[in-house]
Structure 1
């Protein structure tokens, strides 16, 4: 029997944490368990305090001792406790217990749920602010399979008690949103910050799964995290599922390529391949411990005004089909991107870019908001032997190839440019393919939309077929003569 739940998303005022918890408690259908590790039982506490909890809470527990936790949920291969895999085991184990212990014939209309979190709050020295995994496994119909929402958070507060309280509010928001906002995942996402200031908490990964979220693209949910200011960077893999950047980048060598990839062209892939070869030839760079990132900035996605979600997914679809990890960031300046990477690794880093992007790096106008100007930005950008691999540009008027040797920068930047060039920080990609330098994504995109033939040869193998088959980037069925 299906149970219809209606939320308060239409109200102008945000319901309080107590109001949300009480509404859940007073719903005769919702029933489940709470398992919280590492920060006390902060979420379930809100439900106890709201009143009427006996109709909602089947069990609340905190296997705080590691031996007890291992006895209940098993031992992780890496010996860690604050991980996504640990959270999934907790959700799975608690849900199996519900199904085993509660007779479905006795509770035909109950919507079972299992809420769990595994968290490490700020340490005593306050050098590590803490992070955690939070999730819910829940039903929206007694005869339907379970849905799941899993997210990762990073604490910003510097007080353990404040972090615990914030976690408790987030947990209530998650459970409430799962039942009352599930038909609008974007609003559900925003509701996580109900009664929480954004400077208290960062959510940098989320994944939706289950029958009610069958049509939710998790890459789009990642985009929403950055767009809503919940985090500055998100990542997803070739399978389209979101990844935790901290986990993927931890102690890795990193090679990043920034672009619009609208669409990804032979130039992009030639730059990627040749930059990768150069990076792997660097001292201490082991290919097995290297992560290559295709990065798109939020400002690039907003280049034509409001973000076009369909256009974003088209770009993501093609990059994922090529087996690449994609990152969306709010770091327009390269030095901020490098600072972000440095949070997770001390290993080698490199950036691959074309001439136009390199000229922007040496443009002072991009550093007016930095107290130390371009010198401070460059100190952050190049402080760890970072290399920039420069892909050449062909001047159609002169036929010359523009490289670091003949690139012209602003007169005030000449000496700074020479310093980094002469110190080996700027490296030319000399093994480029001259036959693809005439290709520009913007021209390819225009040809696709206008139905002009000839663009197919400008793209990597299989990409043109995918664009035509899935009608990406406004692909026009009707073709005109080649221009």
Structure 2
């Protein structure tokens, strides 16, 4: 297999030498190196510390054993030992590496979906400061043995990628699931660090995970740090606004503020922590020019959102019911969706649900299955100029009773405390003004956004 070939190449490489430390799902990565032969030339040590007392005596105590913090501690310890004990003897001709994982696989005691953190710390060249790749995976196989097998393959792929394809990080990401069916694993977080990856923007790597089908959604903070969704959303109420944010406008922020204020007044939210997300789908990131997603354009959108201190969600969930299912995977608290009236009307377009046996009814059943509410931002009627609100929105005649039911039962609510001056703002017109040199755009985007656009010449702005 490809995995065996990779393990053998690493074993036969006289310059690579390291440690494999695994907790929670057997010694599946190390087993590949022993299976193909020649492991003595590659592995200084293979360790699996299952007992918590033993584990704590080696790596120190931990609040959570399956966590990034635990993984980092393992990498610190194992890589430090390698250098401390072997650098004087063979450091000039050896690229040291330390691989570690800490995993909760399906077992007699653990019946939830398997997941874990994996990482490799390695030298690109002998005596160079180390670089590092850290990732979080979810294991979808139902049997423990299958999860262990998948984990071992990913581990070998990660070590191989770090040692031999670090100059092409996008290809390295794609190779993580070689020899594994896409339905078996999900890689939802990745971070590259160190001298081998100085030119790498982890936000682009996160985007690559979604575009490559390794996951359906990724998150990162305003300062560009990629975060694991479960850590960010666990047991928290969530408010999401979806948009193009090309660029983010005062209307976008007015809608978010109005929805946030209303969300905080919900009885279920009292005393709860609220996570606010600005979401862009892969489809919204394309510019309609047939060229796909422009990485520079993507970063410009994300950077301008970052000036407002907002967390970004990038997803491949075109339908809102799929987004809802994703969010409720991590939290059982209330979820709010803020959208314009035009977007809500599109939600009632049955063509989007042709792939569901139950059509639009099944979609709404999934969407409102848990504690979810839609907050509707008014939009001027293109003919009369009057605001179209949640109460005046017109849907197809045969869906009017369904819409009335959702409205009357508080699944949908109109936002009333909005700034009338923002209602007519169009993101497309703002972009045209920026590119056309019309300074009018500066008055209709948030001040930090305008400052960054002018400072860095974003979205085609010419000073």
In the other structure, the counterpart of 1:457 is 443
In the other structure, the counterpart of 1:326 is 312
Distance in 1 (CA, whole Å) between partners of 2:52 and 2:82 is 23
In the other structure, the counterpart of 1:22 is 8
Q: CA deviation at 1:261?
A: 0.6
Provide structure 1 residue ranges, at least 5 long, that are not aligned to the other structure: 1-14, 478-483
Q: For the Cα contact (< 8 Å) 2:92–2:127, is it kept in 1?
A: no
How has the CA–CA distance of structure 1 residues 30 and 106 changed in structure 2, closer, same or farther, with 3 Å as cutoff?
closer
Q: What SS is found at the alignment partner of 1:35? A: strand
TM-score (norm 2): 0.97
- The alignment covers a number of residue pairs equal to 461
Query: 1:391-424: CA deviations, max 9, x gaps?
Result: 1112354221111121111111110111111112
Q: For the Cα contact (< 8 Å) 2:220–2:313, is it kept in 1?
A: yes
Distance in 1 (CA, whole Å) between partners of 2:98 and 2:455 is 41
Q: CA deviation at 1:456?
A: 1.1
In the other structure, the counterpart of 1:296 is 280
Q: For the Cα contact (< 8 Å) 1:123–1:129, is it kept in 2?
A: no
Q: For the Cα contact (< 8 Å) 1:147–1:209, is it kept in 2?
A: yes
Q: CA deviation at 1:265?
A: 0.5
Q: Counterparts of 1:194-273 in structure 2 under 5 Å?
A: 194-273=178-257
Distance in 2 (CA, whole Å) between partners of 1:146 and 1:294 is 35
Q: CA deviation at 1:158?
A: 1.1
Q: CA deviation at 1:286?
A: 4.0
In the other structure, the counterpart of 2:426 is 440
In the other structure, the counterpart of 1:129 is 113
Distance in 2 (CA, whole Å) between partners of 1:279 and 1:17 is 49
Distance in 2 (CA, whole Å) between partners of 1:302 and 1:448 is 19
Provide structure 2 residue ranges, at least 5 long, that are not aligned to the other structure: none
Distance in 2 (CA, whole Å) between partners of 1:74 and 1:350 is 40
Query: Are residues 1:317 and 2:306 paired?
Result: no
Match of 1:383 among 366, 369, 387: 369
Distance in 1 (CA, whole Å) between partners of 2:370 and 2:179 is 40
Q: Counterparts of 1:80-479 in structure 2 under 5 Å?
A: 80-104=64-88, 106-124=90-108, 127-286=111-270, 289-302=273-286, 304=288, 305=290, 306-477=292-463
Q: What SS is found at the alignment partner of 2:313? A: strand
In the other structure, the counterpart of 1:45 is 31
In the other structure, the counterpart of 2:43 is 57
**Structure 1 vs Structure 2 CA RMSD:** 1.5
Q: What SS is found at the alignment partner of 1:284? A: helix
How has the CA–CA distance of structure 1 residues 431 and 455 changed in structure 2, closer, same or farther, with 3 Å as cutoff?
same
How has the CA–CA distance of structure 1 residues 112 and 126 changed in structure 2, closer, same or farther, with 3 Å as cutoff?
closer
How has the CA–CA distance of structure 1 residues 256 and 110 changed in structure 2, closer, same or farther, with 3 Å as cutoff?
same
Distance in 2 (CA, whole Å) between partners of 1:300 and 1:119 is 35
Q: For the Cα contact (< 8 Å) 2:22–2:102, is it kept in 1?
A: yes
Q: CA deviation at 1:105?
A: 5.2
Distance in 2 (CA, whole Å) between partners of 1:290 and 1:455 is 31
> Runs (4+) of structure 1 moved beyond 6 Å?
none
Q: What SS is found at the alignment partner of 1:104? A: helix
Q: For the Cα contact (< 8 Å) 1:42–1:167, is it kept in 2?
A: yes
Higher helix share: 2
Q: CA deviation at 1:126?
A: 7.8
Q: What SS is found at the alignment partner of 1:462? A: helix
Q: For the Cα contact (< 8 Å) 1:280–1:287, is it kept in 2?
A: no
Distance in 1 (CA, whole Å) between partners of 2:39 and 2:231 is 37
Q: For the Cα contact (< 8 Å) 2:91–2:126, is it kept in 1?
A: no
Q: CA deviation at 1:194?
A: 1.3
Q: CA deviation at 1:106?
A: 4.0
Q: CA deviation at 1:142?
A: 2.5
Query: 1:409-447: CA deviations, max 9, x gaps?
Result: 111111011111111222111110111222111111122
Q: For the Cα contact (< 8 Å) 1:126–1:158, is it kept in 2?
A: no
Distance in 2 (CA, whole Å) between partners of 1:404 and 1:468 is 37
